[in-house]
Amino acid sequence: MKKKARYLFPKDYMADPSAHVFNGKIYIYPSHDRESGIAENDQGDHFDMQDYHAFSLTSTDAEVVDHGKILSVADIPWGGRQLWDSDVAHRDGKYYLYFSLKDKNDIFRLGVAVGDRPEGPFIPNPDPIRGSYSIDPCAFEDKGQYYLYFGGIWGGQLQCYRNNKLSLPGELPQADEPALCPKVVRLSDDMLQFDEEPRDLLILDGNGEPLLQGDIDRRFFEASWMHCYQGKYYFSYSTGDSHLLCYAIGDNPYGPFTYQGVILTPVVGWTTHHSIVEFESKWYLFHHDAVPSGGKTWLRSMKVTEIEYDDNGRILTVEGS
Ligand code: FUB
């Protein structure tokens, strides 16, 4: 029988958990929530995080090891404020931590920091990734090539870009127009830059039409994740203001992807965010909610629960708490 979802680190507030299996252990790279006293607004100023910790565990039941601080805003030469979601990739013995951070002009960029071990420490590059923007990088390896998926609307600033160029004042499409797409880009062999212009990742409905901006229960908002299951590519994401984690399936890392359904119904708190990883032949959803903080949306706690697929490869919906 499937076990109940488990809070992973009750001692502190950690959100947006990106989980990977490195050297036979699960490593988790979350955002480190804190009480900053900044009032809540639609730009997300209250998510004012300043550092990251790395965590590991030998099984989903095992004790969670906190490896301590692996990167701080203060270490990042171009950094301004708000260390949001991050992710880590492993290539040729090095670990690459990709992160979202506002620069000194309050523009979100993606940065990269390099370490020799999965638990860090990570040394940041002196500049953000050239041509990067918005938030929520997800690193994904496929047949020896590495890709980043990214983007987030509202406070994540994706609406301020068209064709990868800043386009102010940054309006969302109308409700009956195609939704803003998440982005996908191949990384350079040294893992430090984009190797091409970021591309739109199209999410289609069952009729092959792009999801519309007004389709708030299905269109992309933020929190990209990619995993493969039985040869298919599963792109999953948050719908933000309708508080769902959804997924779409494609045949290759660039897509297009066809919308399939809900992975996780709304949790306590405004944001919902996740990663999906296979460990010892079971599949797990790492996510967060704001139950332990009494619903404070900016103080979230990371959790893990097992997920299952049906015979057609559809993910069985998990009820959020
Ligand atoms: O944690 C800050 C932001 O909240 C993340 O970058 C978003 O995905 C949302 O979870």
Q: Which of 188, 66, 187, 192 lies closest to 124 in space, CA to CA?
A: 192
Q: Which of 249, 261, 254 lies closest to 148 in space, CA to CA?
A: 254
| 200 annotated active-site | no
Answer yes or no: is pLDDT of 172 > 80: yes
The pLDDT value recorded for residue 164 is 98
- For the entire predicted model, the pTM comes to 0.98
CATH topology of domain 6-307: Tachylectin-2; Chain A (2.115.10)
Q: Which residues sit opposite 66 in a β-bridge?
A: 55
pLDDT tens digits, residue range 188-219?
999 999 999 999 999 999 999 999 999 999 99
- 321 band by pLDDT with thresholds 50, 70 and 90: confident
Dist CA 140 CA 61 (whole Å): 26
C-beta 15 within 6 A of ligand 1:
yes
C-beta 271 within 6 A of ligand 1:
yes
C-beta 33 within 6 A of ligand 1:
no
Q: Which of 132, 115, 113, 116 lies closest to 124 in space, CA to CA?
A: 113
The pLDDT value recorded for residue 4 is 84
C-beta 223 within 6 A of ligand 1:
yes
Phi, psi of 249 (to 5 degrees): -115, 140
Q: Please tell me the residue having the least CA distance from ligand 1 atom 1.
A: 84
Dist CA 145 CA 207 (whole Å): 31
The pLDDT value recorded for residue 32 is 98
Atom of ligand 1 nearest to the CA of 82: 2
pLDDT tens digits, residue range 287-320?
999 999 999 999 999 999 999 999 999 999 999 9
| 222 annotated active-site | yes
Catalytic residue among 87, 119, 136, 222: 222
Answer yes or no: is pLDDT of 1 > 90: no
pLDDT tens digits, residue range 65-80?
999 999 999 999 999 9
pLDDT tens digits, residue range 40-52?
999 999 999 999 9
